[in-house]
Structure 1
């Protein structure tokens, strides 16, 4: 999750470890029910093998999430963000656009979608300079620079 100013909501983020594809949804608050609804909305109909979350209270409905998605939910060890490094790094990239302390009530959904689109079309070294969209959808690289 990427949170804004206290009480202003935030984003639930999901990152595919293989392709680095990002999915994100706004939430009004950090409650377990809001996070559950957002995760199910984001992942319903997609193949999801497992989810790994932190130990925040917002994931208290993990059993309901696992049942709805047909995938197990795992928890990283407390105070071990490196166990979810891809997600933590991606949340840092989101912070380039949505800094800490921002009032998320003022962030429109189309802005969130544009940020997700930008990050999913950003070439990544770990993907051989392919974008997450290219890697996830197995698309050919748009162009290659040859010398």
Structure 2
């Protein structure tokens, strides 16, 4: 997912879940550093926690993700990337991301 943006990915902050078991391979391919939050220290991943809250508006906690289709994920992804955010001065993440990519 990050490969086409690899010029812009310098660091990745991850939690300690099994979904990051291939972190060394990903870091090597992207030439990025991977940092891990301390266990049970959710405040160290504030952006992740905020995103999880937004995501749960579409996919409730406890949902078996094997039942969620790629199309549903893409729809949620589009919705969240086009949703204005206070931390971005009420701009859309997709717009800010495109501006940053253009400036690099």
- TM-score when normalising by structure 1: 0.61
**1:91-130 alignment to 2 at 5 Å?**
91-130=52-91
What is residue 74 of structure 1 aligned with on the other side? 35
Structure with the bigger percentage of helix? 2
Q: What is the rounded CA distance, in whole Å, between the counterparts of 2:64 and 2:21 in structure 1?
A: 25
- TM-score when normalising by structure 2: 0.84
RMSD over equivalenced CA pairs, Å: 1.6
Q: What is the rounded CA distance, in whole Å, between the counterparts of 2:49 and 2:12 in structure 1?
A: 14
What is residue 143 of structure 1 aligned with on the other side? none
Larger radius of gyration: 1
What is residue 96 of structure 2 aligned with on the other side? 135
Q: Please report how far the alpha carbon of residue 91 of structure 1 lies from its aligned counterpart in structure 2 after TM superposition.
A: 1.2
In structure 2, the gaps of 5 or more residues are none
Higher relative contact order (CA 8 A, sep 6+): 1
Q: What is the rounded CA distance, in whole Å, between the counterparts of 2:63 and 2:22 in structure 1?
A: 27
- Matched residue count: 98
Equivalent residue in structure 1 for 2:25, among 64, 76, 97 = 64
SS in 2 for 1:52: strand
